[in-house]
Every structure is written in structure tokens, then in C-alpha cells.
Amino acid sequence: MNRSSTKPNVLFVVLDQLRADVLNGALAETVDLPNLRAFMDDAVTFTNHVTVTCPCGPARASLLTGQYAMNHRAVRNGTPLPLDKPNLATELRRGGIQPLLYGYTDTSADPRHHAADDPILTSYEQVMNGFLEALEMRFDDGRSWRGYLNELGYNVPNCDVPERDAIYIPAGDRPTAPALYSAEHSDTAFLTDRFLADLPTRADGWCAHVTYIRPHPPFVAPAPYNSMYDPAAMMPA
């Protein structure tokens, strides 16, 4: 057996801003998550994991470096993470594994390694050092999903115009109106489908970090999910 055949395949999934008590706690019996629960039953689930900081960029920096924010120093969205800071991806590479990223890490580039006018410094939605961006799913600057929707006939503005946020606005006059896209074309479905389609092209020994933006705001969902629960029937937060 050669060395590569002994390496396991690792799928590391992160959901953004999913309340812990939806999975294990007061809301577990209220929110219906059959697919996620089935996946959890067949996977390793961290039920006693608590993030050490927020918001998203610092939290992901802590998750992927194993350090407190005061140590990795990326204390807010837009604060650079030092390029030489070891993280999950760089350590996997030391072991001969290429870390794949399907989604985002919200990492701000270290300006000490870029020219002052480098466009990479204009956005906090960059990729953490060491990861290979197999699918780009950036929230503000994302192009892959927008392009996919336009190919399907949706009228979606690109991310270079002021109207770019229209994709995240309900298609109606109510906050609870459905998204302008169908559930099968949502960012969640797109990410899952692209990951599953790409997987057969990868040799064994892969590590894929798949990161979903949902249920992170803005609070817009395609039908039927936008009306699945009556707000008045929900228990207080």
C-alpha cells in the first residue's frame, strides 16, 4: 500500500451563524432539520464547541489557527491575518495533503506581502493562506453563483455595481417574501452541487473545507423555506 492510499478523506463543514440550540437545546424539537441530522449521525459532530470571538473573520481565524484573537491578531473583519501564522491548511500541506476550500474564510491579506495598490487589499473576503480555492463563494465579491443564476435566466446584477445587493432582497413587498431564486438554485444548493460534482475528480487523500453562509443574514430564503415557520409560534430567543 503506497503512502497516498493511507490518507483519509476529510470533509470539514461549517455553517455560519446557526444557533447551537437548534441542534441540541430548546429549539431542537421546533426546527426541522432531517438532512442535517442524518449527516450528523454519520459524521463527527462537535457538540461542545464554542467560538472564542466574533464576528466572522476573527472567528474563522481562531477556528482555523487554534488561537485566541489576541494571539492571531485578526480581531475584526478587515484586520489582516499574518501570512506566517500556521493554520489548518498550512499544517495539512506539511503532511502532503492539499486543503480544498469550497466557500470562504473571510481572511484579510497581510499587506506586508503585497504592493500598496494591490486589489487584494480592498476586500476582507480573501482566502486564508494554504487553501486552494476550489469554488469561490464570497458574499460581497462573489461571481460564481451570480454567473450561474444569470445563465439560468435570472436577472442578477454583478458584484461591481451598487445594486449588487438586490440578490439578497426578498422578491416582494414583505420581509417574509421569497427570494428571487428557487430553492434548487440557492447559494446553499449551488455550493453543495458543485462540491459533489467536483469530488470524483479528486484523488483519495483530500481534505475539503465546505463553508455555508446560511443562516447568516440577510434573512431571505427561497420558497417554501421563507414561510415554513410562523414567527408568532416561535419561542422567545
One-letter identity of residue 63: L
* Cα 36–Cα 137–Cα 96 angle in degrees, nearest 5: 80
* Residue 207 annotated among the catalytic residues of the structure: no
Annotated active-site residue in 54, 56, 159, 207: 56
**First and final C-alpha spacing in the chain:** 53
One-letter identity of residue 2: N
Show which residues are catalytic.
56
